[in-house]
Amino acid sequence: MAANRAEAATTLGASATATGRYFGAAIAASKLSDTTYTRILSTEFTSVTPENEMKWDATEPSRGTFNYTSGDRIVSQAQSNGQQVRGHALAWHSQMPGWAQSLSGSTLRSAMLNHITNVATHYKGKIYAWDVVNEAFADDGQGSRRNSSLQQTGNDWIEAAFRAARAADPGAKLCYNDYNTDGVNAKSTAVYTMVKDFKARGVPIDCVGFQSHLGTGVPGDYQSNLQRFADLGVDVQITELDVAQGGNQASIYGTVTKACLAVSRCTGITVWGIRDSDSWRTGENPLLFDSSGNKKAAYTSVLNALNAGSGGGGGGGGNGGTGCTATVTPGTVWGDRYNTSVTVSGASTWTVVVTMTAPQKITSTWNGTATWDASGNVMTMKSNGSGAAFGFTTSFNGNTTARPQISSCTGS
Ligand code: G3I
């Protein structure tokens, strides 16, 4: 755990840097005048991805006429913060401008290649990694290519896109990026087969992005899926991470972070937005900061995982103790407060870290010895000989929806 380390960093970016990785966020140019947003952006993140500003509809609204105003704004903001930029996305069936949607065949193919050449040339030298092709595989369980107008230009459209991007900006890492490829399944295996073929034939590809738009679970083979791609000789990156709010949000974020840390070629993690109110998943509160910009339990879970990994030189690292499992059982709820009990299994002497969402506050505890971090939101509860369960009362203070999150359980 972080507490066992001499120097646990206190921001996502610094902690990730200590492991040799970046920690990024998707950002919107239209939000760069929001001071809460820019404060978190400049403090916590070492990489940015433009959420929409470098897509085809944004950068080439009419054929042959390029508009880089918003994309350039993001790049200059990133440069002034010392952040790297992931370019997103050169070729994608979605968010194509209307004029391109009406094209097909060789006309569309040459328009696509011209688009890639122009955009990658404009940003040459400023982009760490490009999502060259986005979401080209179907969700049919068969591993088929998605049936799009781009696909109909010929099955070699993906490699043609990668070759055009390499020619335009030889210094950028070139990634294939997709969703629902986060575990071993027909879709991820089809991408795997394509990457293997590209490597064998010398088609320029350097990285694979795993979007990781997750619900209430994470595939059990998440890490081994990343590893099998890395073993092909490409970097892997978590490119659009967000997780539905629910009982497991913090632990899923922690699991994903640890998986990246355990794969030496997993070079970084990007979350798809900063605050819950910035997310495309309206109402799901899937990000690391609440809508007011407060750190959530999920944030602490990621930070702790990064700090636990920082001694591993990018290759994992331990948590300084044996494992245990802490299970939350909701208790009585009153108008102004509620009870929670936590049962610990797997160790008789334990330390459980519980993270609360402000402005909620724990007002009393039982059957353990509690200490608090400076913010008052993170409680470290140690066993005191009273058994395998402890409990506490939390006052709502105006937030009746948030619930405590278990950030870690360490036995000794
Ligand atoms: O900016 C206009 C605004 O002027 C207009 O009034 C409004 C009316 O619809 O639309 C606004 O644009 C929206 C834009 O987001 C900015 O908010 C678009 O309609 C909307 O389609 C667009 O959605 C984006 C979506 O991609 C489009 O497919 C999301 O922001 C963006 O988060 C999302 O990101 C994708 C990745 O690129 C690829 N992977 C999946 C991921 C989530 O869908």
Which DSSP string corresponds to 36-95?
Answer: HHHHHHHHH-SEEEESSTTSHHHH-SBTTB---HHHHHHHHHHHHHT-EEEEEEEEESSS
Substitution site in 27, 32, 51, 95 for ligand 1 pocket (most atoms within 8 Å of beta carbon): 51
Q: Ligand 1: does its nearest atom lie under 6 Å from the Cβ of 95?
A: yes
Closest protein CA for atom 36 of ligand 1: 51
Closest protein CA for atom 38 of ligand 1: 134
Q: Ligand 1: does its nearest atom lie under 6 Å from the Cβ of 240?
A: yes
Q: Name the 3-class secondary structure at 243.
A: strand
Closest protein CA for atom 22 of ligand 1: 52
The pLDDT of residue 321 = 55
Cα(124)–Cα(38) distance, integer angstroms: 25
Which token pair is 331?
């208790």
E strand segments, 220-324: 235-243, 266-271, 322-323
Confidence tier at 234 by pLDDT (50, 70, 90): very high
> According to the per-residue pLDDT averaged within each range, which of 6-20, 47-61, 316-330, 374-388 is highest?
47-61
Render pLDDT for 258-275 as a digit per residue (tens, 0 to 9): 999 999 999 999 999 999
Q: How far is the CA of 33 from the centre of ligand 1 (A)?
A: 19
Q: Ligand 1: does its nearest atom lie under 6 Å from the Cβ of 30?
A: no
Q: Ligand 1: does its nearest atom lie under 6 Å from the Cβ of 375?
A: no
Q: Which residue has the higher pLDDT, 313 or 211?
A: 211
Q: How far is the CA of 255 from the centre of ligand 1 (A)?
A: 28
**Average pLDDT along the chain:** 92
Which DSSP string corresponds to 90-118?
Answer: EEESSS--HHHHT--HHHHHHHHHHHHHH
Q: Ligand 1: does its nearest atom lie under 6 Å from the Cβ of 51?
A: yes
Confidence tier at 45 by pLDDT (50, 70, 90): very high
The pLDDT of residue 7 = 56
Q: What is the mean predicted confidence (pLDDT) over 168-178?
A: 97
Which token pair is 195?
């990457």
Q: Ligand 1: does its nearest atom lie under 6 Å from the Cβ of 181?
A: no
Q: How far is the CA of 378 from the centre of ligand 1 (A)?
A: 35
Closest protein CA for atom 21 of ligand 1: 95
Closest protein CA for atom 42 of ligand 1: 280
Q: What is the mean predicted confidence (pLDDT) over 93-110?
A: 98
Q: Which residue has the higher pLDDT, 326 or 354?
A: 354
Question: Ligand 1, closest atom to CA 88?
Answer: 37
Residues belonging to the active site = 135, 240
Is the distance from CB of 364 to CB of 392 less than 8 angstroms?
A: yes
Q: Name the 3-class secondary structure at 294.
A: coil
Render pLDDT for 132-150 as a digit per residue (tens, 0 to 9): 999 999 999 999 999 999 9
Substitution site in 30, 179, 280, 281 for ligand 1 pocket (most atoms within 8 Å of beta carbon): 280
Render pLDDT for 330-359 as a digit per residue (tens, 0 to 9): 888 888 999 999 988 888 899 988 888 788
Among 217-221, 225-229, 246-250, 293-297, the range scoring the smallest mean pLDDT is 246-250
pLDDT tops 60 at residue 3 = no
The pLDDT of residue 161 = 98
The pLDDT of residue 78 = 96
Nearest to 103 by CA among 58, 52, 152: 152
Q: What is the mean predicted confidence (pLDDT) over 2-13?
A: 64
Substitution site in 31, 32, 49, 52 for ligand 1 pocket (most atoms within 8 Å of beta carbon): 52
Nearest to 40 by CA among 208, 291, 352: 291
Which token pair is 68?
């880089």
Which token pair is 90?
């050169």
Which DSSP string corresponds to 120-170?
Answer: HHHTTTT-SEEEEEE--B-SSSS-PBP--TTGGG-TTHHHHHHHHHHHH-T
The residue behind tokens 């122009």 is: 118
Helices (runs of H) and strands (runs of E) counted in the chain: 11, 18
Q: How far is the CA of 107 from the centre of ligand 1 (A)?
A: 26
pTM reported for the whole predicted model: 0.78
Q: How far is the CA of 244 from the centre of ligand 1 (A)?
A: 18
pLDDT above 90 covers what percent of the chain? 79
Q: Ligand 1: does its nearest atom lie under 6 Å from the Cβ of 93?
A: no
- Helix intervals (H) in 154-242: 157-168, 186-201, 222-230
Q: What is the mean predicted confidence (pLDDT) over 294-307?
A: 97
